[in-house]
Amino acid sequence: MKKSILKALSVAMTLCLMLTLAPMDASAAKIKLNKKKATIKVGATLKLKVKGTKKKATWKSSDKKVATVKAGKVTGKKAGTAVITAKVAKKTLKCTVKVTGKKADNTANTPNTPNTPNTPSNTTDTPASSANALKTNLKIELFSDPNANRGCGIITNNNDFPVDLELKMEFLSSGKVVNTVVYEEKITGLEAASAAYVQCHNLKDGNYGPKFDSCRIVITKAAKSIYDASQLHAKEIDVSKIEGGLNIKVTAVNNSTKDIKEALIVLVGYDADGKLIGMNWNKQEEFIVKAGESMVLDMYYVKDANRKEAASHKAYVVYAHE
C-alpha cells in the first residue's frame, strides 16, 4: 500500500513538473529572428527583429566592413557576406546577410561615367566648406558651338567618392553674360575618376537666346552621393581602343559579368593643343553585348565649328545598363 502511494505521488509530481516546464520550453522554442537569410545593396538597410520575447537582444556583425548592425538595423557597407548575430534569453540567433553592389573604383585613368538621372540616390548633407572642396576637385572642359546654338562640356569627378551635381550654363558675349540656362538633368551618382557629358542649348522664353561667343558651366549644388550601383556597369566597359577609317571605330568591351542591353558612348574631340572642340555620341538601345564580349561602334569624326577635324579623340561611357 505504501509503495502504491509513493508511486502515485511520484507520478503526480512528474506531471506537475511537465506542466510547469512545457510552456517555458515552448516559449523558448518560439524565439527566432524574422529572417535567416537576406540580401541588401550597398547603402541599403534591413531591420531584423527577434520574435517570441520582449527581452533586449545583443547584436553583433561578423564583418563590420561588409555590414554593421545597431539595435537590429543592418546597413550594407560593401559587397560581401556578413553573419548578424543576436543573443537573447540564452539563445543565439543568426541571419546571413549578403551585400551586393559595386565598390568604389578610384582608378585615376578610367574615364567612364554612370550618369543616369533615374538612378536612385540618397544625398548626404554636405557643409559649405566641404561642398567648395568637392567643387575644386571637378575638372570642367568646355566648348562653344554658336552655329548649333549650344554649349557642351565634360565634367570629370576627381574626388574619391561619387557625387550628385546640379548646374547651369552661362552664355557670354565678349566676356559678358547674356543668358543663363538651368541644366534640367541632374547628374546623379557620378563616380570617382568618371566623367559626365553636358549639352545645353542657348534658349530664352522658348526662343533662341542672344548671340554668344563662349560659355561656362556653373555648379550650383554639389554633394557626396550614396547610390545603388548594382546595375551600373559603365566603369566595366572598356572603350580605350579607337581606330580610324571612313568613320571612327570604337570597340566597347563588356568586362562585367552581366549582359549590357543599353549604353551611351560619347566620342570627344581635341585639337592639337588638347582643347576640347566637339563631341559625337552613339546611344545604343535594346542591343546586347554579352558578358566578356565586345561590340564595334561606327562613330563620326569630331569636327569643330569650322568643320576642322579633331587632332585626337577619346571615348567615354556615360552609362551602361543590364
The C-alpha cell at 253 is 568591351
Q: Is residue 36 part of a domain?
A: yes
Compute the average pLDDT of residues 130-156: 87
Query: Does 237 lie in the same domain as 200?
Result: no
Query: Does 219 lie in the same domain as 123?
Result: yes
Q: Which of 227, 262, 277 is the last residue of a domain?
A: 227
The C-alpha cell at 37 is 537569410
Q: Which of 48, 73, 100 is the last residue of a domain?
A: 100
Residue 123's pLDDT is 42
List C-alpha distances in Å: 56 to 71, 95, 97: 9, 17, 21
The C-alpha cell at 182 is 538651368
Confidence class for position 91, pLDDT limits 50, 70, 90: confident
Phi, psi of 204 (to 5 degrees): -145, 120
Residue 35's pLDDT is 87
Query: Does 238 lie in the same domain as 222?
Result: no
Query: Does 87 lie in the same domain as 38?
Result: yes
| Range in 79-83, 219-223, 282-286, 310-314 with the lowest mean pLDDT | 282-286
| Helix (H/G/I), strand (E/B), else coil: 211 | coil
Residue 264 has pLDDT above 90, yes or no: no
DSSP string, 118-140: TS-EEEPP--HHHHHHHHHTEEE
Query: Does 178 lie in the same domain as 257?
Result: no
Single out the residue of 106, 127, 85, 115 nearest to residue 222, CA to CA: 127
Residue 13's pLDDT is 55
Confidence class for position 226, pLDDT limits 50, 70, 90: low
Query: Does 272 lie in the same domain as 307?
Result: yes
Query: Does 217 lie in the same domain as 109?
Result: yes
Answer whether 153's CB lies under 8 Å from 142's CB: yes
Q: Is residue 45 part of a domain?
A: yes
Q: Is residue 277 part of a domain?
A: yes
Compute the average pLDDT of residues 77-95: 87
User: What is the pTM assigned to this prediction?
Assistant: 0.51
Query: Does 190 lie in the same domain as 245?
Result: no
> Is the Cα torsion angle 251, 278, 232, 236 positive or negative in sign?
positive
Single out the residue of 256, 258, 321, 265 nearest to residue 296, CA to CA: 265
Single out the residue of 284, 280, 253, 256 nearest to residue 269, CA to CA: 280
Burial category of 115 from C-beta neighbours within 10 Å (exposed 0-12, middle 13-18, buried 19 and up):
buried
| Helix (H/G/I), strand (E/B), else coil: 307 | coil
304 vs 166: which has the higher pLDDT: 166
Query: Does 223 lie in the same domain as 115?
Result: yes
Phi, psi of 137 (to 5 degrees): -95, 15
Query: Does 164 lie in the same domain as 250?
Result: no
List C-alpha distances in Å: 296 to 51, 242, 272: 56, 10, 26
**In the block, residue with C-alpha cell 560593401:** 78
Compute the average pLDDT of residues 6-31: 53
The rounded distance, in Å, linking the Cα atoms of 143 and 315 is 16
The rounded distance, in Å, linking the Cα atoms of 99 and 189 is 19
Query: Does 116 lie in the same domain as 58?
Result: no
Domain containing residue 297: CATH number = 2.60.40
The C-alpha cell at 45 is 538597410
- Residue 272 is given by DSSP the state T
Count: domains in the chain: 3
Query: Does 316 lie in the same domain as 246?
Result: yes
Q: Is residue 12 part of a domain?
A: no
Q: For 300-318, how does the pLDDT look when each residue is reduced to its tens digit (9 = 90+)?
A: 888 877 788 888 888 877 7
Residue 108 has pLDDT above 60, yes or no: no
The C-alpha cell at 155 is 565634367
The rounded distance, in Å, linking the Cα atoms of 185 and 113 is 15
Burial category of 284 from C-beta neighbours within 10 Å (exposed 0-12, middle 13-18, buried 19 and up):
middle
Q: Is residue 317 part of a domain?
A: yes
Domain containing residue 82: CATH number = 2.60.40.1080
Residue 190 has pLDDT above 70, yes or no: yes
Dihedral of CA atoms 256, 258, 259, 260 in degrees, nearest 10, equals: -60
Range of the domain at 276: 233-322
Q: Is residue 2 part of a domain?
A: no
| Nearest-5° Cα angle at 160, 122 to 170 | 75
Q: Is residue 7 part of a domain?
A: no
Q: Which of 174, 205, 227 is the last residue of a domain?
A: 227
Answer whether 213's CB lies under 8 Å from 174's CB: yes
Q: Is residue 290 part of a domain?
A: yes
